Chain A
Amino acid sequence: MSGNPIISFENITKRFGKTTAVDNVSLTINEGEFFSLLGPSGCGKTTLLRMLAGFEMPTEGRILIDGQDVSLTPPNHRPVNMVFQSYAVFPHMTVLDNVAYGLKMDGVAAAERRDRAEEALKLVQLAGYGPRKPDQLSGGQRQRVALARALVKKPRVLLLDEPLSALDAKLRDQMRSELTSLQQKVGITFIMVTHDQDEALAMASRCAVMNRGLLQQVATPSDLYEFPNSRFVADFIGSVNMFEGTLDVDEPDHAIINTAEAGPVYLDHGVTGGTGTTVWAAVRPEKIEMHKRTETPPKVDDAPEGYNVIAGVVKHMVYLGSETNYEVEIAGGKLIKVVRPNLTRWDQEDFELGEQVWVSFHACSPAVLLS
């Protein structure tokens, strides 16, 4: 997903007194992307966003928009507009006046302001709501006003601070698809901050995962999910089973990790890491298969016998309709998470609580993490 870089963070650090909120982050965002800053609360994503908007100044580093250094430019002079978490719709102005406010600041004539504001309202499906006052609108409607207000100025970048967190579940789903289609329609670069990884994966074309001020990984959603670069990312995105072990064999076409909990793990590819180092094999729950307990363990297709198979006991079961989630206890007490889709309507191989099982995974399933 290459394109023109429009935003560039170069070695950005932000300190508040003794706390470092953002630690040497370098990041490029391309034009037309729907980009997401993702991470747990306190990771620095909002601070990074606010530095881009101009409400904080970086302690070190530069921020470039279209190649221009805007690190010290005040917010009212940046080609960037923000939709705030609380929407911040001005309560004493009508919806139309709210949307037209930015244009008024630019010195646009009244008639043109009105027209463009009406257009923007149409874009967010609030046509005709112009004369209303914000206290007559629902939360979702106020958010659209905030969106229209920001978009009417045709900024180079639109920033969204936790846009879906204040909405109820149904509205959230609706806004999710609306925001993505809006972005495609308008073509502006959107940068969204969220702590909800489902949101980020669903909406963004690329995500940056942050933790404690540090940039962990920048990748597409699928790359983040399938090829996390660290235990933190693997654990933060979705759920995962993590096995710690030593890298014993490292060939171009296969590798073997000896883990204490899962026994020897066979991979169908080489790993860039020194033999003898400690690594982690991460396997997603949906990639683990469950088998009824037999004398001999089942053999995995793409691995030699005895690899990638573990004996266990079903400890927990949660039936979710389309799938069933299991927790299988293996030797040593570790609980392995397994997700089994309910493939047929008739009872497939049904498992019960307390039943003894084999769990296995293919050699292509684990992701190897070096940190």
Chain B
Amino acid sequence: MTEAIARPRKLPPAPLEYLRRWPIRLSVGAVLVFLYAPLITLMIFSFNDSKANVVWRGFTLKYYIKALHNDSLIQAFSNSMVIAFFSTVLSLILGAMAAIVLWRFRFPGKTVFDGALAIPIVVPEICMGVGMLVFFAKVLPWPQEMPWPLNLGNIIIAHVSFSFPFVAVVVRARLASFNREMEEAAKDLGASEFRALMDVVIPHIQPSLIAGALLAFTLSLDDFVITFFTAGPDTITFPVKVYSMVRFSVTPEVNAASTILIVVTVLLTFLALKFQGSQALTAGHGADDK
């Protein structure tokens, strides 16, 4: 008895199934190669046993060891981490407060406030960098002899200034989907304004708080331009340190340091997305929801 297992016939692509058509597949594939190949080769070549790092000579971890023993690199990394941590905490608080205020209240000057919050997001980083440079040179000179980590304060302040509007955008997007009747129900049941906010609104925006925190952390960790302009000659962050290494030469050590940075950032990104779901992909992008 022959069994005719009917193989499901492969149907031709439906009119709008663009992803199944080869021209689109080709261009998407090409773009993905374009975007990832340099990064992946960079990561691979961080294991290359060759100083000049042009041709693959052998697998080694020695440049990672070198990087991990590079004191100034370690210092820079921990600086970046500390700055990112404090920046995140402050940005989260300020961003959430701004988001709630804009969502909840009518007040004179609301449009101005809203617009002013959008400026740090839209304006090129160099303009902010210049602003911070001038500010910390002329208005609030940051004493260099402060103990660690207070000496990083000016960089933290700068980072918060450009991060918290992003957090506000993320939280606002989530607030938009909040059913007002929930808050009214809480008040109807006896909660005060404050309690209603804490018991009902905050739990609702919790995923966006987490996503916002991770966004702020990444923004801080990655920042180069603003940090470059704000930092004093002695305080160095990770991207700035890597920058000076890059200007010197292209060695696998730089690759190693860069790979570490990539891995940390990617991990954080995955966490962020897990918490916000696909919303993050459209809500985390600041300037496009004007």
Contacts and interface: CB of A to CB of B under 8 A. Distances in A.
User: Do any beta carbons of A and B sit within 8 angstroms of each other in the complex?
Assistant: yes
A55 B183 CA distance: 11
A88 B181 contact: yes
B11 interface: no
Contacts of B199: 90, 101
Contact of B190 (A53, A88, A102): A102
A84 B181 contact: yes
B141 to A, nearest CB: 47
B104 to A, nearest CB: 14
B249 interface: no
A105 B189 contact: yes
Given A90-B200, A101-B189, A153-B189, A75 B184 contact: yes
A106 interface: yes
User: Which of under 10, 10 to 19, 20 to 34, or 35 or more describes the interface residues of A?
Assistant: 20 to 34
A229 interface: no
B174 to A, nearest CB: 13
B188 A53 contact: yes
A110 B187 CA distance: 20
A76 B189 contact: yes
A112 to B, nearest CB: 15
B273 interface: no
Interface in B22-39: none
Nearest to A85: B181
Contacts of A102: 189-190
A98 to B, nearest CB: 9
Interface string A139-164: 00000001001100100000000000
A86 interface: yes
A170 to B, nearest CB: 25
Interface in A68-103: 74-76, 80-82, 84-86, 88, 90-92, 101-102
Interface string B169-203: 00000000001011011111111100100011001
A111 B184 CA distance: 26
B62 interface: no
Most buried by B among A54, A90, A146: A90
A75 B179 contact: no
A92 B203 contact: yes
Nearest to B189: A102
B186 A101 contact: yes
Contacts of A81: 188-189
A90 B182 contact: yes
B192 to A, nearest CB: 6
Contacts of A105: 189-191, 195
Contacts of B190: 76, 102, 105-106, 153
Interface in A207-238: none
B201 to A, nearest CB: 11
B179 A88 contact: yes
Contacts of B181: 84-86, 88
Nearest to B195: A105
Contacts of A91: 204
Interface string B87-115: 00000000000000000000000000000
Contacts of B204: 91-92
Contact of A82 (B182, B188, B192, B195): B188
B185 A88 contact: yes
Contacts of B186: 90, 101
Nearest to A146: B185
B182 A76 contact: no
B187 A88 contact: no
A121 B188 CA distance: 19
Nearest to A53: B188
B195 to A, nearest CB: 7
A108 to B, nearest CB: 10
A82 B185 contact: yes
B184 A76 contact: no
A84 B185 CA distance: 7
Contacts of A76: 187-192
A54 B187 CA distance: 9
A113 to B, nearest CB: 12
A230 B179 CA distance: 38
Interface string B52-76: 0000000000000000000000000
Contact of B184 (A55, A90, A146): A55
Contacts of A55: 184, 187
B182 A75 contact: no
Most buried by B among A53, A54, A80, A101: A101
Contact of A88 (B184, B191, B195): B184
Contact of B187 (A74, A146, A149, A150): A74
A84 B182 CA distance: 9
Contacts of A84: 181, 184-185
Nearest to A152: B189
B225 to A, nearest CB: 40
B279 to A, nearest CB: 16
A81 B206 CA distance: 28
Nearest to A102: B189
A146 B189 CA distance: 11
Contact of B182 (A53, A54, A88, A106): A88
B187 to A, nearest CB: 5
A80 B192 CA distance: 15
B200 A75 contact: no
Interface of A: 53-55, 74-76, 80-82, 84-86, 88, 90-92, 101-102, 105-106, 146, 149-150, 153
The 5 closest A-B pairs by CB, nearest first: A105-B190, A102-B189, A88-B185, A88-B181, A92-B203
Given A92-B206, A149-B189, 5 more contacts: A82-B188, A85-B181, A88-B179, A105-B189, A153-B189
Interface of B: 179, 181-182, 184-192, 195, 199-200, 203-204, 206
12 contacts: A75-B188, A76-B187, A76-B188, A81-B189, A82-B184, A88-B182, A88-B184, A90-B203, A101-B189, A102-B190, A150-B188, A153-B190
